[in-house]
C-alpha cells in the first residue's frame, strides 16, 4: 500500500522533500475545504496544534500515525488513538534547553521590569534618576519554586542554582531524586511551596487533573512579594483569578508565555496590567530548535510508516500489540 502523509501546518521544503522521498505527500490546512477529503485517505498526519480526537479520527479510517511537532500533546486524545491502534509521537528533549532559556529570561524580565522600563526609555520618560517606584527585585539568592520537575523544570533549576545561587524548591507527582542530588532541591507539598517561594514557576503538563490548578486559593497562599511565571500551558491557570491577584496586590507580578486562548484576544484584560509580562508563546521559538523539532517529527513519521519504532512514541502499547 502506498502510504500517504497529510501535512496540515507549514514545513520547510527540505522536510517536505524528505517525506516525499518515501511517501505520497499532500498538504491542507485544517480550516480548508479539501482537508476532510485528504484526511480520508491519509495514513500519516503531521503538524502542530491540531485537535486530534474521536470526531476527527472518524474521518481518518486509514490513519496509522500522528506526528505532533511539539513536546506537549494535550491536543491529542491519546486514549482514543491507542484504542484505534494509531501511533502518536511528539518532540521532547530537542527543545528543553531553548525553552528553559526563554522561561528563565521571562523570570528575569518580570523581576527587573525590563519590558516596562524599555518602554519607559523609548517613550522619553527617562529624564532624571530612576524613582524607587520603578525598581525591580533581585533574582540571585532567592527561593525558586518549580511546579513540575520534568526535563524543562530541571533545566530551569540548573540555570537558577548554578547561575544565580537560588534555593530550589519543587513539587512534582513523584520525587525527583536526580534534581535533589544535582541542585540540592527540596521537595515540598504544593501549599508549602507556594508559601515559601519568592518565584513560582509552573512547568507541569496539562491533564484533566491539572486544569485550573492555579486559582484564587493558590495565589492567596503566595507571598505578596512573590512573582508567578507560567511556561507550561494556559489552561493550568484561572486567568480571572490571576488578574485579580495582580490588581489586588496578592502577588507582586507575573510573567506568562502561555494562555487559555492563543493568540490572546486584543481586548484581554491582561494587556492593561503593568505588572504582568506577556510573551507570545516563544518557549521553543528559535530557528535552530524549530528546525530540530521538525526534523525529529519527520524522522519518527518515516519510522512509523516503514515498520520501525519511532524514537519518541507516546503510546508504546500500540507497537507492543497490547491495544
Active-site residue among 14, 262, 288, 308?
Answer: 262
Annotation marks residue 262 as catalytic: yes
Question: According to the model, what pLDDT value does residue 319 have?
Answer: 82
Give me the pLDDT at residue 323, please.
Answer: 44
Is 195 catalytic? The answer is no
Q: Which of 15, 113, 233, 299 is catalytic?
A: 233
Burial class of residue 115, CB neighbours in 10 A (0-12, 13-18, 19+)? middle
State the pTM of this model: 0.88
Burial (Cβ within 10 Å: 0-12, 13-18, ≥19) of residue 283: buried
Residue 321, pLDDT score: 55
Evaluate whether 4-94+287-320 and 96-278 have a shared fold: yes
Active-site option among 84, 112, 158, 281: 281
Strands 227-230 and 199-202 come out as parallel
Q: Is 281 assigned a catalytic role?
A: yes
> Rounded distance, CA 296 to CA 300, Å?
6
- CATH number of this structure's domain 96-278: 3.40.50.720
Q: How far is CA 228 from CA 62, 108, 152, 218, 231, in A?
A: 45, 12, 17, 11, 10
Domain 4-94+287-320 has CATH 3.40.50.720: yes
Instruction: Tell me what pLDDT residue 2 has.
Output: 85
- Domain residue spans of the chain: 4-94+287-320, 96-278
- What does each of the 323 residues of the chain score in pLDDT, given as a tens digit? 589 999 999 999 999 999 999 999 999 999 999 999 999 999 999 999 999 999 999 999 999 999 999 988 989 999 999 999 999 999 999 999 999 999 999 999 999 999 999 999 999 999 999 999 999 999 999 999 999 999 999 999 999 999 999 999 999 999 999 999 999 999 999 999 999 999 999 999 999 999 999 999 999 999 999 999 999 999 999 999 999 999 999 999 999 999 999 999 999 999 999 999 999 999 999 999 999 999 999 999 999 999 999 999 999 999 865 44
Pairing between strand 253-256 and 227-230? Answer: parallel
Please provide residue 76's backbone torsions phi and psi, each rounded to the nearest 5 degrees: -105, 130
Amino acid at each position: 500500500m502506498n502510504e500517504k502523509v497529510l501535512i496540515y501546518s507549514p514545513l520547510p521544503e527540505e522536510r517536505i522533500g524528505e517525506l516525499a522521498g518515501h511517501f505520497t505527500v499532500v498538504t491542507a490546512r485544517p480550516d480548508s475545504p479539501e482537508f476532510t477529503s485528504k484526511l480520508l485517505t491519509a495514513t500519516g498526519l503531521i503538524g502542530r496544534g491540531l485537535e486530534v480526537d474521536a470526531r476527527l479520527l472518524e474521518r481518518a479510517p486509514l490513519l496509522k500515525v500522528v506526528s505532533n511537532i511539539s513536546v506537549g500533546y494535550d491536543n491529542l486524545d491519546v486514549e482514543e488513538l491507542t484504542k484505534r491502534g494509531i501511533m502518536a509521537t511528539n518532540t521532547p528533549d530537542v527543545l528543553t534547553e531553548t525553552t528553559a532559556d526563554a522561561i528563565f529570561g521571562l523570570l528575569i524580565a518580570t523581576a527587573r521590569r525590563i519590558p516596562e522600563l524599555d518602554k519607559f526609555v523609548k517613550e522619553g520618560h527617562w529624564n532624571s534618576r530612576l524613582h524607587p517606584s520603578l525598581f525591580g527585585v533581585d533574582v540571585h539568592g532567592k527561593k525558586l519554586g518549580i511546579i513540575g520537575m520534568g526535563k524543562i523544570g530541571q533545566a530551569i533549576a540548573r540555570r537558577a542554582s548554578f547561575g544565580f545561587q537560588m534555593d530550589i524548591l519543587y513539587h512534582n507527582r513523584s520525587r525527583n531524586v536526580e534534581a535533589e542530588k544535582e541542585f540540592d532541591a527540596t521537595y515540598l507539598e504544593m501549599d508549602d511551596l507556594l508559601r515559601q517561594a519568592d518565584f513560582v514557576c509552573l512547568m507541569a503538563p496539562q491533564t484533566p487533573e491539572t486544569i485550573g490548578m492555579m486559582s484564587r486559593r493558590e495565589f492567596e497562599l503566595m507571598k505578596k512579594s512573590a512573582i508567578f511565571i507560567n511556561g507550561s500551558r494556559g489552561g493550568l491557570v484561572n486567568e480571572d483569578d490571576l488578574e485579580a491577584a495582580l490588581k489586588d496586590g496578592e502577588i507582586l507580578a507575573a510573567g506568562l508565555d502561555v494562555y487559555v486562548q492563543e493568540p490572546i484576544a486584543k481586548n484581554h484584560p491582561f494587556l492593561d496590567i503593568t505588572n504582568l509580562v506577556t510573551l507570545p508563546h516563544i518557549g521553543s521559538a528559535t530557528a535552530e530548535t524549530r528546525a530540530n523539532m521538525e526534523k525529529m517529527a519527520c524522522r519518527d513519521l518515516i519510522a512509523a510508516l516503514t515498520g520501525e519504532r519511532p524514537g519518541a512514541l507516546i503510546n508504546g502499547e500500540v507497537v507492543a500489540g497490547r491495544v
